[in-house]
Amino acid sequence: MMIFPWTISNFSTFIPLDSLPSLENHFRQLIVTVDENGNPPTVGKGERNPCDESNLNLTPIVINQNNSEVGSNWGKTSAERPILWVYIPYTREQLSRAKLSVRTQNEEEIIYEERLSLNTLGKTPGLVPLSLEESENTLEMGQWYRWYLFLDVYCTEEADRLQQDSISAWVQRSENVSGDRLYDHLAEIAAIEDPQTRKNAWIEILRELGYDAIADGISTPEN
């Protein structure tokens, strides 16, 4: 078993995983019901994969412990343009369109919104990085942002069976070196050169965050 040099509450402290407190509250996914323009009027919880109720859900890889500022489903970063990570349960053939949107905390301003090329998503089902590198805007220090991934998916080959699925999570750029920089640590895991070490690291962090079902059968991203 690998020992990660950080915990959910303080990534800079060296504490063995065996001594960590149990994360009893597993991930509660945010699914957004969008209108025809892709705008999320409300956020609901507990929705299922529209193509297969027995399958895994579209899932942001984030911390689900409660944060007094934004609630659950969040993470911090030191990067101006962080990499956001999601688990996409759909096959490439099922995916029709994908759009990433990043908005200010009050959602009055969209700082980034782009349709994603399906060719850049990598192997799905699996873990997928979402990059903000093309954005002219950067995350301001200390500010919370809400990010959304919107997907159009075909559950069958029939064109009239187009479904919409989406998720929402939070990101904050922080200068605090011990401030729960989950997005930075996910990027570090993705950069591990040895494939088996990298896979083990993904499984470890997914289990620590409470994503046991994803860890049990993930396709890990390549470098």
Q: What is the pLDDT of residue 123?
A: 84
List pLDDT tens digits, range 52-107: 765 689 999 999 888 889 989 999 999 999 999 999 999 888 899 999 999 999 88
| Whole-number Cα distances in Å, 200 to 31, 90, 167, 218 | 29, 23, 26, 11
Separation of alpha carbons 143 and 136, rounded Å: 17
pTM of the model: 0.75
Q: Which two tokens stand for residue 39?
A: 């705008």
Look at residue 178 and tell me whether its pLDDT is greater than 90: no
Strand runs labelled E in 34-137: 42-45, 59-60, 74-77, 83-88, 95-104, 110-115, 126-131
Look at residue 167 and tell me whether its pLDDT is greater than 60: yes
Nearest to 56 by CA among 208, 197, 165, 182: 165
Average pLDDT, the chain: 76
Look at residue 138 and tell me whether its pLDDT is greater than 60: yes
Q: What is the pLDDT of residue 103?
A: 95
Q: Which two tokens stand for residue 188?
A: 């570090």
More confident residue, 161 or 105: 105
Look at residue 176 and tell me whether its pLDDT is greater than 50: yes
